Amino acid sequence: MNMKITILNGDMSNGTSDLSIYIGNLARQLKENHSVDVFPLHKMNLHYCSGCWSCWWKTPGQCAKHDEAEPIFRSVINSDFIIFASPLMAGFTSSALKKTTDRLIVLLHPYIKLKNGESHHRKRYDHYPNFGLLLQRELGTDEEDIQIVNTIYDRFALNFHNERKYTRFIEFTNADEIIYEITGNTAIH
């Protein structure tokens, strides 16, 4: 089955890091059977969310910023699976990735619903693709760091009506395994 896959690459280097090379290779293999969008966030013209709420009460569903974010919003909401890729920096995913996930609030609706005794914003779209985390370790990354990152992304998933399917590290997982986990089809020849 042909899938639509969105990769948000939060690498903050000039694109020559192990992570970006890994993603390049992963995307190339995925493209053999799927449509893949890769966004090198740090190299794109992307502003920080300024909390103006235009997307909720002035131009519903549409961000007021004129930068390169719109193709990301389109790709994310129309895809079957998202990969959030990032080096760990100061114990969390990069600011390039975080600023992008902040902006994804445009895909939600302001109205509030309760879920497990918690407030959440209701869906604007019918379907929110699940995601996987693809991380690169930093000096000192330990089990606690990974648990914290997972907890925060699981909370992100609660807000975004989707699920975190896995967290993988480029140091320990080869691209074939990632592809297998996304598509259920082994790419091992």
Partner 1 sequence: MKLVIFNGSPRYKKSNSALLTEQFLKGYNRFCPEPVPVYYLANYKQREAAAEIFKQAETVLLIFPLYTDCMPGIVKEFFENIAGESYSPAKKVGVIVQSGFPESIHAEGLERYLKKLVLRLNCEYLGTMIKGGVEGIQSMPPSMTRKLYGKFQVLGEYFAQNNSFEPGITEKFRKPYRFSRTYIVIFTLLSKTGITNFYWNGQLKKNGAFEKRFARPYLD
Ligand X SMILES: Cc1cc2nc3c(=O)[nH]c(=O)nc-3n(C[C@H](O)[C@H](O)[C@H](O)COP(=O)(O)O)c2cc1C
Q: Which residues bind ligand X (CB under 6 A)?
A: 49, 51, 102, 105, 159
Least distance (Å) between residue 76 CB and ligand X: 15
Q: Which two tokens stand for residue 103?
A: 């902006």
Nearer to ligand X, 51 or 117 (CB): 51
d(CA 128, CA 132): 13
Rounded (10°) CA dihedral 37, 102, 152, 128: -50
The single residue among 98, 161, 164, 168 that binds partner 1, judged by CB under 8 A, is 98
Q: Is 155 within 8 Å of 104 (Cβ atoms)?
A: no
Looking at 49-186, list the stretches that DSSP marks H as alpha helix, in order from N- to C-terminal side: 54-57, 70-77, 95-103, 143-159, 175-183
Least distance (Å) between residue 37 CB and ligand X: 22
In which element (H, E) is residue 135 found?
strand 130-136
Nearer to ligand X, 16 or 119 (CB): 119
Partner from ligand X, partner 1, none binding residue 74, C-beta < 5-8 Å depending on class: partner 1
Q: Does 186 bind partner 1 (CB under 8 A)?
A: no
Q: Does 88 bind partner 1 (CB under 8 A)?
A: no
- The phi and psi torsions of 95 (rounded to 5 degrees) equal -65, -30
Q: What residues line the site for partner 1 (CB under 8 A)?
A: 12, 48-53, 56-62, 70, 73-74, 77-78, 89-92, 94-95, 98-102, 104-107, 109-114, 116-119, 124-125, 140, 144-145, 148, 151-152, 154-156, 158-159
